[in-house]
Chain A
Amino acid sequence: MPPNSTSLQTTRDEPVLTVKDVYKTYTLNKGQTLKAVDGISFSVMSGEVLGLVGESGCGKSTLGRCLLRLHDVTSGQIIFEGQDITHLPERTLRPLRQRMQMVFQDSYASLNPRRRIGDLLAEPLKVHGTVNGERRSASAITQRLAELMELVSLPRAALARYPHEFSGGQRQRINIARALALSPRLIVADEPVSALDVSVQAQIVNLFADLQKQLGLTYVFIAHDLAVVRQISTRVAVMYLGAIVELGETDNVLHHSVHPYTIALTQAVPRPVVGTPQHAPLRGEIPSPVHKPSGCRFHTRCPAAQARCAHDAPQLRPIAPNHEVACHYPVLSHN
């Protein structure tokens, strides 16, 4: 497959996606508000994989959907390939959607059970029908479907079958093929491997990595499994209650973590090695996003919290090259 021909719009050093101070607020009953995404800013460079980790309810999926305008943000800016798409009307946005795609967690729910794989994959090619002003011919579509099957290592015969005839891993391959159909630049993958068994999960993680290299894709990879995120990401953002608490290169964030939450999170991952030293688990659970703690949102569970943390909210600030943290008292001695 030829590399993306339209990627001339931006050079390698320009971010594919920039998020500036994005908020997503939901209004609940009784005048309460839920700030699912609470002031987030970051950029994703071309060819980069940004891993977005955090526990359930931290806002990572909401953020992922906001990135592609599946949800509209409450405030802030989303800039895709240099163009502000935050308030673009659907008509103008639609052609851009070819260049940003999503892969979801539930491989079964995201495929129409009554349609054959071939039809499902041809749909985006028909909806975004024109290439350089001309409609795709039937033979061009057939050829593209064959290419897609090869990309995700499925037999061509799979095109004539229905989603229920495949295993979870194979269905996720089909979802990836559909996301790739229009040769996107950016793929937002929301927990794409968490419903899979470990042995199959490794296959799909490898597939994501291979495609990224082969096609020069840019990913925002959302997952709660730190080991999977470590494997695939060039940079990692750790979220807690709607905000990024630590951001930087994968090794910096996961091996030289400075935020007490990141440290607790990495320590809590059970290692498949007998005799791994056990750390005291973090107290309590993630508070409700409707009633966020004052000051630093993590201070209620933080082992290193001090008086200041209860009223003064820390901002994300650089602490080393390619490493930012939102904490007043980052843990610098930790390895």
Chain B
Amino acid sequence: MPVNAPLLEVQNLCVSFATRGQMIPIVENISFSIGEQEILGLVGESGSGKSVTAMALMGLIDAPGVRITGMALFKGQDLLAMSGKQLRTLRGQEIAMIFQDPMTAFTPVYTIGWQIDEQLRVHQKLSRRQARARTVELLGEMGVPDPLNTANRYPHQLSGGLRQRAMIAMALSCNPSLLIADEPTTALDVTVQAQILDLMRNLRKTYGSSVLLITHDMGVVAETCDKTLVLYSGRVAETGTTQALFAHPQHPYTAALLASIPPMSGPRPERLPAIPGSPPQPLERPAGCAFAPRCTYSHATCLPAPPPAFHAINSHHKVACLLPMEGTPLPPRFSANTTATV
């Protein structure tokens, strides 16, 4: 990737919510960048702050007492400093978002076509007829059969896969430079998921869009994303090219997460290498490394604050763990795995 200014550069994003006089830090110091036509995967378990990150970038968090700090430079402008009005022209036009549940993302009282038309008419000032022509064209490109008639149907009349295609068509209608996809395939069956992932991979070729893909599924990341950012309890654990991160995870959390996925081939392990316990609640998050209480490698230096700083393994792989810095990095994934399963 050329090292011009990235399309989106997020620096030290923090999001805290106020509850009963306390500020709860949901997301702490998240930084990442997305280049042109790049797909970045944001992975983590539920409660890790994936969706809050996306919502903060889109200016969609509307909670009293929320505090969002940091910077998010999109084409040089700071999204977090923008007024609601400025953001509104950007959303839909430059940055679009698709959600996990297309049933609730569409309004049930208008047809799919009407809702896509509306977006085109607002942002691109098209006439009704022009907008509908473009809508039908888009639905067709997204692989919706019989787009002319499908446009006249209501969300509940479509299957989950078709609704998600319509949702993507709506998101792409104004040719956004950045598409944020929040668990776009989680509600779908595997065979339909495979179709939608295929579609997402092709978007950058046909539309030149960059994608921020939020998911909990490491398999989806491996098949779709160029770069990966692993979140744990609101903090970045590890980030790097998907290739490097999956072949040689440097954070024990990433390694353990990958190891706990039941394999689809090879010998079946007697027991899955599970991670003990569960992620901490934001208020109970340890001062030092958030993963330390569940980590098999944790030792005295992991516990005191502040959390481990980022250590660059190389120019495209960074990890918030002391192990590589202390000269005892994790072994590569596959040699580690084979010894574990034998």
Contact = CB atoms under 8 A, between A and B. Distances in A.
Interface in A251-284: 254-255, 264-276, 278-279, 281-282
Contacts of B279: 197
Contacts of A278: 198, 223
B195 interface: yes
B105 interface: no
Contacts of B256: 199
B63 interface: no
A170 B261 CA distance: 19
Contacts, number: 130
A200 interface: yes
A268 B194 contact: yes
Contacts of A231: 262-263, 268-269, 272
A281 B268 contact: no
Interface of A: 55-56, 167, 169-170, 197-203, 205-206, 209-210, 224, 226-228, 230-231, 254-255, 264-276, 278-279, 281-282, 285-286
B191 A264 contact: yes
A198 B216 contact: yes
Interface stretch (B32-40, B174-182, B241-249, B307-315): B241-249
Given A203-B274, A268-B193, A274 B242 contact: yes
Interface residues on B, range: 35 or more
Contacts of B264: 226-227, 230, 254, 266, 269, 271
Given A199-B256, A199-B274, A227-B263, A270 B193 contact: yes
16 contacts: A169-B278, A202-B261, A205-B272, A205-B274, A206-B271, A224-B189, A227-B263, A230-B263, A265-B190, A268-B191, A269-B219, A271-B219, A271-B222, A272-B261, A274-B243, A285-B162
B262 A281 contact: no
Contacts of A268: 190-191, 193-194
A209 to B, nearest CB: 7
B260 interface: yes
Q: Which of A169, A199, A267 counts the most B-chain CB atoms under 10 A from its CB?
A: A199
Contact of B222 (A199, A224, A272, A285): A272
Interface in B23-53: 45-46
A230 B265 CA distance: 9
Given A270-B223, A272-B219, A224 B190 contact: yes
A234 to B, nearest CB: 11
B41 to A, nearest CB: 11
The 5 closest A-B pairs by CB, nearest first: A270-B219, A202-B274, A281-B194, A55-B189, A231-B262
Given A202-B262, A285-B161, A270 B197 contact: yes
A167 B281 CA distance: 10
B217 A202 contact: no
B192 interface: yes
Interface string B226-247: 0000000000000000110011
Interface in B194-225: 194-195, 197-198, 216-223
B222 A281 contact: no
A236 to B, nearest CB: 12
A198 B223 CA distance: 18
B333 to A, nearest CB: 9
B277 to A, nearest CB: 9
Given A202-B260, A227-B261, A231-B268, A271 B274 contact: no
A185 to B, nearest CB: 24
Contacts of A273: 222, 246
Nearest to B274: A202
Contacts of B45: 197-200
A198 B261 contact: yes
A267 B243 CA distance: 21
Contact of A265 (B162, B191, B278): B191
B122 interface: no
B275 interface: yes
A197 B216 contact: yes
A291 to B, nearest CB: 13
B257 interface: yes
A270 B274 contact: no
B2 interface: no
Given A270-B219, A272-B219, A255 B190 contact: no
Contacts of B160: 56, 285
B159 interface: yes
Contact of A206 (B193, B197, B247, B274): B274
B273 interface: yes
Contacts of B189: 55-56, 224, 285-286
A199 B257 contact: yes
B276 interface: yes
A272 B246 contact: yes
Nearest to A209: B271
B258 interface: yes
A270 B225 CA distance: 12
Q: Name the residue in B189, B243, B246, B275 with the highest tally of chain A Cβ atoms < 10 Å from its Cβ.
A: B189
B278 A281 contact: no
Contacts of B258: 272
